[in-house]
Chains A and B, each alone.
Chain A
Amino acid sequence: MTWQLTAEALTAHPGSALIGLEREMGYRVLAGRAQAVADLLSAAGVKAGHRVALLSAGRDHDEAVGLVGIRLAGGVVVPLDASHPPERWTRITKGCRALVTDEAAAAKAPKLPRVELDGEGFVLGAHGDVEDEGGSEADVTAVLHTSGSTGTPKAIPITTEGLDAFTAWMIELVGLEVGTRVLRVAELGFDLAWFDHLATFRAGGSLCTLPRRRMASGRSLREGVERLRPEVMYGVPSFFQKLVHAGFAFEGVRTLCFAGEVYPMPELRRLAEVTDARLFNLFGPTETNVCTFHEVRPEDLERDELPIGVACPYATCELEGPEGELVVTGPTAMGGRCATRDRVEHREGLFWFRGRLDRMVKIRGYRVDPGEVEAALHRQAGVVAAAVVSEQHPRLGTILVAHVEGTAESRGLRKALAASLPPYMVPERVVPHTTLPRTSTGKIDFRALD
């Protein structure tokens, strides 16, 4: 039977569900506070399969309480990123029936029937009733939104069956047990964070949480992680690089999983020097969740490229077409089968990532379709044509540069983009052009811009 988050499953676990720098919360208390949220959502008219937005600016214990509460009411969690502009929240919450939010975000949050929580997950208030229109999504736990080529965020349903297969496998892979301390790393809009919450709560582990502001700089991150003493962490490579650079000793850490972007080999060697933890390279777009994995072996560190490994037991990975596009079949794949647009090679019994078949790039682990940034530019007055390309920056890593034809002023454009796009999608530079270079067929010549 498919595993589900239930109040019974949670209360069956002994020990702490959440461990913060200031306080802990046991499983029984988590289940109780989440049930209070669920009851209010149900009373407001939320039914099984209804989308409910979740917004936590402080990222305190309210986030987990809200997440579990929405699930206990049968709702589908739609996470909103607190660092994104309200205009984007409004677009994402179009299909949402209600909202669970913390106090800090409440004033700016979209106008929906809501339950407001304090940092410990206590209900501060609830108001509004669901206006019942539209359908419901059965067997979906969450809907995540990533960058879309058409100019609107792309909604990706994460099925309960897919999460069941994924968390069962991950629990086995990293050896999650009752009391295992797992660091809460990525934002919930990122599929990585669903391991943090659901695999931990399934296994009865303890989710170690840091306030968002502590994640911003190396030293406060290091000090926070030292105090929380996690044994397992799953994050993007830049997160672990930040910890290594800040001098974190990785004491007591036994498993590190990374995904989202390619780990630069010199940095990976540096990580392997400072920790004895098992290192796993996990691979897969949000549409398939993790579909291949590879445990880093000493001999891998001698080479100049890390494989993405072999297929996860729940996923069938095939390469199709002359380019070798990775096609994934299985319970975690969107619609049961997903052509990933990733170019992959199979050699020495392992899969190797070769690049994208489209223009998608990764900025700090977040995927960005330059087409979405171009679409946002095209909505601005004075922009005749726009082309967004990526560059390498010594400090910032991969950055976006916008080339714009028209009369719009560069300075105002970044600001206008920031009102509708997440911070990492705002180009670092806007370069004005009288006319953009074009090919003989009249299309923008991206090669001439590189």
Chain B
Amino acid sequence: MPTRSQIQQALADHLVDKVLFRDEPLAEDEDLFEAGFDSMSLSRLLVFIEDRFGVSIPDEDVVIDDITTLADMTTFVAGYVE
């Protein structure tokens, strides 16, 4: 089972490279939405999480108000992976 820091690293790498398409790294407490995260990004990220961690997360389980940062996203994914 992946550790929390492995999950966070995988999410950060994917978000920076494949979803937000940016050069600078993503800080743990940066507001994802202000960094350009939108519904398309969410769908892309969920597809990645399912492929990478072998879990199934329906869109409707995600509450954007609860998941505003990389740290929140990590906690959320870790809850499924365990």
B1 within 8 A of A: no
Q: Given the complex, which residues of B lie within 8 Å of A104, measured CB to CB?
A: 34
A424 partner residues in chain B, CB cutoff 8 A: 40
Which chain B residues border A423 with CB–CB below 8 Å?
38, 40-41
Complex CA–CA separation, A415 to B21 (angstroms)? 5
User: What sequence of 0s and 1s flags, for each residue 383-398 of chain A, a beta carbon within 8 Å of any chain B beta carbon?
Assistant: 0000000000101100
Cβ of A438 < 8 Å from any Cβ of B?
no
Q: Is the interface of A mostly helix, strand, loop or mixed?
A: helix
State which residues 76-90 of A face B: CB under 8 Å: 83
**Interface bin, chain B:** 20 to 34
For residue B29, CB closer than 8 A to chain A, the reply is: no
Q: Which residues on the B side are within 8 Å of A411 (C-beta)?
A: 17
Instruction: Write the residues of chain A forming the contact surface with B, with a CB cutoff of 8 angstroms.
Output: 83, 104, 212-220, 222-223, 242, 245-247, 364, 393, 395-396, 411, 414-415, 418-419, 423-424, 426, 428
Interface residues of B in 36-69 (CB under 8 A from A): 36-44, 46-47, 50, 58-65
Per CB-CB distance, the 3 closest pairs between chain A and chain B, nearest first, are: A218-B60, A418-B21, A246-B60
Q: Once bound together, how far apart are the Cα atoms of A419 and B36, in whole Å?
A: 12
* B80, CB-defined interface residue at 8 Å: no
Interfacial residues of chain B within 9-52, with CB under 8 A of chain A in the complex: 17-18, 21, 33-34, 36-44, 46-47, 50
A219–B61 CB distance below 8 A: yes
Contact of A218 among B21, B41, B62 (CB under 8 A): B62
Q: How far is the CB of B12 from chain A (nearest CB, A)?
A: 16
- Residue pair B60, A219 in contact (C-beta under 8 Å): yes
When the two chains form their complex, are residues A217 and B38 in contact, meaning their CB atoms are under 8 A apart?
Answer: no
Q: Are B47 and A217 in contact (CB under 8 A)?
A: no
Beta-carbon contact of B17 and A217 below 8 Å: no
Q: Tell me the smallest distance from the CB of A398 to a CB of chain B, in Å.
A: 12
A215 to B65, CA, bound (A): 11
Nearest chain-A residue to B68 (Cβ)? A213
CA distance A418 to B23 in the complex (A): 12
Other than A216-B42, A219-B62, give 16 A-B pairs with Cβ distance below 8 A: A83-B36, A213-B64, A213-B65, A215-B39, A216-B37, A217-B62, A218-B62, A219-B60, A220-B64, A242-B60, A395-B43, A396-B44, A415-B17, A418-B21, A423-B41, A428-B44
Out of B21, B37, B59, B63, which one reaches A414, CB within 8 Å? B21
Minimal beta-carbon separation of B47 from chain A (angstroms): 5
Within 8 Å by CB of A217, from B18, B50, B63, lies B63
Given contacts A415-B17, A415-B21, contact A364 B60 (CB under 8 A): no
A213 engages B33 (CB within 8 Å): yes
Which one of B21, B41, B64 has the highest number of Cβ atoms from chain A below 10 Å of its Cβ? B64
Q: Which residues of A contact B46 (CB under 8 A)?
A: 395
Assess whether A222 is in contact with B60, with CB atoms less than 8 Å apart. yes
- Is there contact, CB below 8 Å, between B64 and A395? no
Q: Is the CB of B40 within 8 A of A218?
A: no
A-B contact pairs, 21 of them (CB 8 A): A83-B38, A83-B40, A216-B38, A216-B42, A216-B64, A217-B39, A217-B42, A217-B59, A217-B64, A218-B58, A218-B59, A220-B63, A223-B63, A246-B59, A246-B60, A396-B44, A411-B17, A414-B18, A414-B21, A419-B21, A423-B38
Verify B64–A245 contact, CB threshold 8 A: no
Query: Complex Cα distance A113/B33, Å?
Result: 27
Minimum distance in angstroms from A55 CB to a CB of chain B: 14
How far is it, in angstroms, between the C-alpha of A428 and the C-alpha of B18 when the chains are bound? 9
Enumerate chain B residues within 8 angstroms of A245, measured Cβ to Cβ: 58-60
- Measured CA separation A416–B62 after assembly (Å): 29
Measured between beta carbons, the chain A residues less than 8 angstroms from B37 are 216
Assess whether B60 is in contact with A217, with CB atoms less than 8 Å apart. Answer: yes
Give chain A residues whose Cβ lies under 8 Å from the Cβ of B34.
Answer: 104
Does B64 contact A214, Cβ atoms closer than 8 Å? Answer: yes
Pairwise interchain contact B63-A219, C-beta atoms closer than 8 A: yes
Cα distance, A191 to B41, chains bound together (Å) = 23
Is B40 in contact with A247, judged by CB distance below 8 angstroms? no
Bound together, the chains give a CA A104 to CA B33 distance in angstroms of: 12
Q: In the complex, what residue of chain B is closest to A394 when comparing beta carbons? A: B47
Complex-state Cα separation, A249 to B31, whole angstroms: 31
User: Once the chains are docked, how many angstroms separate the CA of A395 from the CA of B44?
Assistant: 9
Q: Which residues of A contact B40 (CB under 8 A)?
A: 83, 364, 423-424
